[in-house]
């Protein structure tokens, strides 16, 4: 498995963590939050998505510097 594939997997997982609460709200499965509460920014899922996406960006940059040989 190449570094680019790992970065892609981490990126997909990170965006999934960001998108899951939004999808749940659209389906009506998640409880409504008070406007302006900012609870979504403090959720562990949001932070997991942030960390995974940042790691994916970092690994993608490392892979591009190595030349990306298949």
- Give a three-class secondary structure readout of the chain: CCHHHHHHHHHHHHHHHHHHHHHHHHHCCCCCCCCCCCHHHHCHHHHHHHHHHHHHHHHHHHHHHCCCCC
Encode the chain (70 residues) as per-residue pLDDT tens digits.
Answer: 788 899 999 999 999 988 887 788 788 776 666 665 655 556 788 889 889 999 999 999 998 888 755 5
The C-alpha atoms of residue 68 and residue 15 are separated, in whole angstroms, by 23
């Amino acid at each position: 498995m190449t570094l680019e594939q790992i970065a892609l997997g981490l990126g997909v997982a990170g965006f999934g963590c960001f998108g899951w609460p939004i999808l749940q709200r659209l389906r009506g499965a998640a409880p409504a939050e008070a406007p302006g509460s900012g609870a979504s920014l403090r959720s562990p899922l949001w932070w997991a998505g942030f960390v995974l996406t940042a790691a994916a960006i970092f690994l993608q940059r490392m892979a591009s510097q190595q030349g990306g040989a298949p």
